[in-house]
Structures are given as C-alpha cells and as structure tokens.
Structure 1
C-alpha cells in the first residue's frame, strides 16, 4: 500500500464528509466518530446521488436522493436495497487521514 495524506481528521465535521477529487472520479471521506474515517465512491449506484451529501449515522450513510443506506465499512447496501459502492482503505495517524493511493490507482485503471 502507498499511503497518501489527504486531510486532518478535524477538517471533516463529526458525522460529516468531504469529497476527494481523483482522476477517476470523486471519493467521499466520512468521519462517523471522533477518530475514525472511511472512504467510499461518492456516487450511489441507484440514481447517482452524492453520498457525501448524505446523512452519516453509526457506520452508515444514507443517500440524500432516495434513502438507500450503505455500510461505511463494506460499501454494501443495507436492508432491502441491493448494491454496493467501492470502498478505499484509510487510516488515521496523528490526527491525519491517509488513503491507500494504490487502491485509487486501481480504480483509475478499471
């Protein structure tokens, strides 16, 4: 893995998200708790809604367009909805969020 420093954890509001723009599209970086971060594709597979604008609760996000719920840990749709979004490894070190650059590169190659 090739870790890239993308932001301070405090740059993302608690239970909020920020968008990381990449050559292959946008990635939503979520902060569900004080010291956790998750990264998912920012596009809901149902109608293309921006997940970064969704409601973060527990370790899930609800799409702002049609209320589909996705696990921040796995990217899988929850409940009766079917589908998934891509996830990207992240870690928090010394108050900074790092994302796996190798995973972003694989996304670009796909």
Structure 2
C-alpha cells in the first residue's frame, strides 16, 4: 500500500494528536516536540475511547477516560488500566504533509 496523506504538519500542534478516519478505521496521528510524527490505532485498547482526545506529552498519550498511558512511538501500554499494546503504523513528513502507511 502507498503513503496516505493525512494533513499538513502545521495542522497538528507540537505534543498534539489528531484523529484520522480511513476506510472505516480510526487512527491517531501524533506530532512530537522535534516535529517527528507517529501513528497508532486510534482507540484505547482498554475501552474504545479516541486517543486523539487524550493528553500528549513526552512521547506518551494518556487515554481521556481512565488515564491509561501508551508510548505512541512503540504502542507500548505503560500505565494501567491499559495492558494491551497499540498497533503502530509508519508515519513521515513529505513536503510539509504528514503521511502514513497502512499495510
């Protein structure tokens, strides 16, 4: 599969996230302080809550419902009640635009 355009990089705040829906699935796309970008499944593995609505800081996203925390670079669940890792997807910035690869 090819790279899918999500949005312009400046659309996402540093240490921020946006929700991206594509072909019936939800993803969360993150922008770190150094402008690196990442993509994970968009719903918390504990309960199906949109992670893009959570607090993003220091390469972590906190679920807005029960405060489970994930490392969005690796998808690792690092604070309960989240105990199942998130699926991650390659993300890059090309010509000022965030793109993800959904294989």
Q: What is the TM-score of this pair, normalised by structure 1?
A: 0.83
- The equivalences for 1:69-88 within 5 A come to 69-80=69-80, 81-88=82-89
Higher relative strand content: 2
Higher relative helix content: 1
Measure how far apart 1:24 and its partner are.
3.5
Instruction: Detail structure 1 runs of 4+ shifted over 2 Å in the superposition.
Output: none
Structure 1 gaps, min length 5? 104-110
CA contact (8 A) 2:45 2:83 kept: no
- The one-character-per-residue Cα deviations of 1:44-64 (angstroms, maximum 9, x if unpaired) are 011111100000011110000
Rounded Cα–Cα distance in structure 2 between residues aligned with 1:5 and 1:44? 23
Rounded Cα–Cα distance in structure 1 between residues aligned with 2:75 and 2:88? 6
Q: Quick check: 1:22 aligned with 2:17?
A: no
Q: What is the TM-score of this pair, normalised by structure 2?
A: 0.88
